[in-house]
Amino acid sequence: MHSPVSESVIQESLLRWIVLLPLLGAAINGLLNRRLPKAAVGAIACGAVGLSFVLSLTAFLRLAALPAESRLLVDTVARWIGFGPLRVDMGFAMDPLNAVMALIVTGVGFLIHVYSLGYMSHDKGFQRFFTYLNLFIFAMMTLILGENLLMLFVGWEGVGLCSYLLISFWFNEEANAIAGKKAFVVNRIGDFGFLLGVFLLGATLLPHLGAGEGLFSFRVMQRHADVLAPAATAIALLLFVGATGKSAQIPLYIWLPDAMAGPTPVSALIHAATMVTAGVYMICRMNFLFVLSPAAMHVVAIVGAATALLAATIAMTQNDIKKVLAYSTVSQLGYMMLACGVGAFAAGIFHVMTHAFFKALLFLGSGSVIHAMSGEQDMRVMGGLWKKLPITFWTFLAGTFAIAGVFPLAGFFSKDEILWKAFSGQGGGVGLYAVAFLVAGLTAFYMMRLVVLTFHGQNRAGAEVRHHIHESPLTMTLPLVVLAVLSVVGGWIGWPAFLGGSNRFEQWLEPVFAGGHHVAAAVAGHGGEALAEGAAAAHGAAHEGMGLERALAGASLTWGLLGLSLGYLVYSRRTKVADTVRGIAGGWPYRVLLNKYYVDEAYDGAFIRPGFRLSKTVLWKTVDAGVIDGLLVNGSALVVAVFGSLLRLLQNGLVRFYAWSFTVGVAVFVVYLSLKG
């Protein structure tokens, strides 16, 4: 069967340079370690990503000039794997989906690079830091622009490696090194499931390929989606295991809050616009597979909703400014997964974009606060900073209103779209909508709590810290201003129909996701009739029930404003209320949230300690030391030593012994010949 995806391919060699320029920057700064002045290092690193953004914009404009059904640019670099029927190319491709992602990653990544010039200016590892940043952008762009699933996986593993290097950048402190290792190990668990999904997909598809068709090419997989239908649920769930690692969903979300040990620009880069959205992008990229399995889609939606609620409740009690934002990121990623699970892939990517703007702004704003507070991250010793950090405060406030969904800021449009799709989309309903609606209010509440504790009231730091509080340099504040503007206007491209717009963002992505709906309809023989109807209903939901959608949008806006107002009132005017709530039921609900539901402790008791004991007593002392070292290595050495000792007796240096041995040997040989004859 053939999908309605256009087969016309336009070769565009520009794509490889979008990917390779950051790698070139990393190579120059990495190889010329400590031989370049800081100014040159910063110029090379920022210039590489800036040029990558310019090329991404150029490719985007070329793509936009094409007819909607023909928007595909391909850059085949070389044959990567080729034997028998198996063929995989090393190449890149750009369609409306990864064009958006490329602009987000290179654009926001460039602003974070500029910000880092000021934030890391006095760090001894300045050159190493920018080498890692460039390498990370290279890996992320490989993931995004990879023409096939194996190229995506190369980038997938690359961002995992770079996240380890960046999270544990200040590795002299043990906590930082542990956080980096935790991120690496947890992601490897998810990647194991991802690889199993890739293997199953390849084994299912390979026997059905025609001559010259690339096995893991996204276009080829979509064209043969009917072949994948019987195994779609298993493949989709295994791929989703990988997504729960990269995009920090239950149960593999635990690495992301600890990743705050890295420098703040790393938090903004990894946890706002890039690595953590890789799982969401992968599901949207493989939408033609996921729509074949209502069961897998339902799992994605439920896990996303549960993750959003879990993380939002934890964020309300955290006192570390970056930990609040970290759990907020986990919660917002749950929103994106929820959108994908109800078939609203365009809404999920829309929230990826707006979230990149306001969450990068919030993380960089927190870095400006930490910079002013001489490294302090505990909000309980902050306060009263808005007068001394005016640019940081006002831009941070813009990001707060955006994430709270205040109209007409960017977060309102993407979050409202997800809420509407959770209510009306494929597999959606009142339950998922209620969870998402509750999380929206909690988000507004804990973000206003963060703003009040950080910027309002009296500063609670020591006299020496208060004396050094000052606004950040231009290299740090300028990216804040740009991101604040994007946090305000960045969602207008998705202005919905019920407010008189046409949601041009969804129209831009429609050719990418429309194919999935056709795939679902085409495999009706595998139970796809209801699925196709649900997909069509989700696709047309934006054009129906505008009155209800307008009412739900008004309710979510009111709910968000109520959360903001309540957060301000409780932590600014009625501070005793917070103390009273913390003391309810002996304080145990508060302690549970403060200790993050004791999930880390539970994992430690259920997996880490038993795994350590198993490794120590069985794998090390029994298998490694006993069997491998004792029996195989030392045992074989003992056998050789014994035989060597026996043979050494024959080499005693006595000529008459050698003559006697020769005579005996000849006699034995003669006797043998006589008996044989």
Which of 74, 367, 27 has its CA nearest to residue 219? 74
Pairwise CA distance, residues 205 & 86, whole Å:
11
The confidence score (pLDDT) of residue 519 equals 63
Which of 177, 143, 144 has its CA nearest to residue 157? 143
Q: What are phi and psi of 74, to 5 degrees?
A: -130, 140
In 45-151, beta strands by DSSP E: 73-83, 86-94
The confidence score (pLDDT) of residue 533 equals 52
Average predicted confidence (pLDDT) for the chain: 88
The confidence score (pLDDT) of residue 650 equals 75
Q: What is the mean predicted confidence (pLDDT) over 315-335? A: 94
CB 349 within 8 A of CB 277: no
Helix 149-167, helix 232-246: angle, nearest 10: 20
Q: pLDDT tens digit string along 452-491?
A: 999 998 888 888 888 888 898 999 999 999 999 999 999 9
Give Cα 290 to chain centroid, integer Å.
19
Pairwise CA distance, residues 209 & 85, whole Å:
8
Which of 561, 335, 362, 328 has its CA nearest to residue 455? 362
The confidence score (pLDDT) of residue 7 equals 53
Whether 532 shows a pLDDT value over 60: the answer reads no
Q: What is the mean predicted confidence (pLDDT) over 538-543? A: 47
> Distances from the Cα of 564 to the Cαs of 482, 502, 559, in angstroms?
24, 29, 9
Q: What is the mean predicted confidence (pLDDT) over 136-148? A: 95
The confidence score (pLDDT) of residue 542 equals 44
- Check the CA dihedral 36-266-481-458 and report its sign: negative
Alpha-helical segments (H) within 168-217? 174-205
Q: pLDDT tens digit string along 146-187?
A: 999 999 999 999 999 999 999 999 988 888 899 999 999 999
Pairwise CA distance, residues 537 & 543, whole Å:
10
Q: What is the mean predicted confidence (pLDDT) over 124-142? A: 94
Q: pLDDT tens digit string along 494-510?
A: 999 888 888 899 999 99
pLDDT: which is higher, 84 or 423: 423
pLDDT: which is higher, 651 or 585: 651
Residue 515's pLDDT band (boundaries 50, 70, 90)?
Answer: low
Range with top average pLDDT, 214-228, 231-245, 519-533, 566-580: 231-245
DSSP 8-state code for residue 148: B
Q: What is the mean predicted confidence (pLDDT) over 274-303? A: 93
Residue at token pair 């890996």: 139
Q: What is the mean predicted confidence (pLDDT) over 275-303? A: 94
β-strand pairing of 10-11 with 86-94: unpaired
Residue 2's pLDDT band (boundaries 50, 70, 90)?
Answer: very low
Q: What is the mean predicted confidence (pLDDT) over 229-257? A: 94
CB 344 within 8 A of CB 359: no
Q: Which residues of 196-232 are buried (b: 16+ CB within 10 A; e: fewer)?
A: bbbebbbebbeeebeeebbbbbbbbbbbbbbbbbebb
The confidence score (pLDDT) of residue 584 equals 78
Q: pLDDT tens digit string along 379-418?
A: 999 988 998 999 999 999 999 999 999 999 999 999 999 9
Q: pLDDT tens digit string along 594-643?
A: 899 999 999 989 888 888 888 888 888 888 888 888 888 888 888 888 88
Which structure tokens are listed for 384? 């009263």
Residue 53's pLDDT band (boundaries 50, 70, 90)?
Answer: very high
DSSP 8-state code for residue 33: T
> Distances from the Cα of 74 to the Cαs of 71, 92, 219, 282, in angstroms?
10, 6, 11, 19
Which structure tokens are listed for 540? 């047309």
The verdict on whether omega for the bond into residue 610 sits within 30 degrees of 0, i.e. cis, is no
Q: pLDDT tens digit string along 6-50?
A: 456 788 889 999 999 999 999 999 998 778 899 999 999 999 999
Pairwise CA distance, residues 324 & 449, whole Å:
10
Pairwise CA distance, residues 415 & 351, whole Å:
7
Q: Which of 68-82, 231-245, 617-631 shows the lowest mean pLDDT across its residues?
A: 617-631
The confidence score (pLDDT) of residue 586 equals 66
Q: What is the mean predicted confidence (pLDDT) over 100-126? A: 93
Within 13 A of 193's CA, how many CA atoms are on the CB side?
19
Q: What is the mean predicted confidence (pLDDT) over 328-341? A: 95
The confidence score (pLDDT) of residue 541 equals 45
3 state SS of 291:
coil
Q: What is the DSSP string of 418-445?
A: HHHHHHHSTT--HHHHHHHHHHHHHHHH
Contacts of 130 (CB under 8 A, 6+ apart): 25, 29, 41, 42, 44, 45, 113, 116, 120
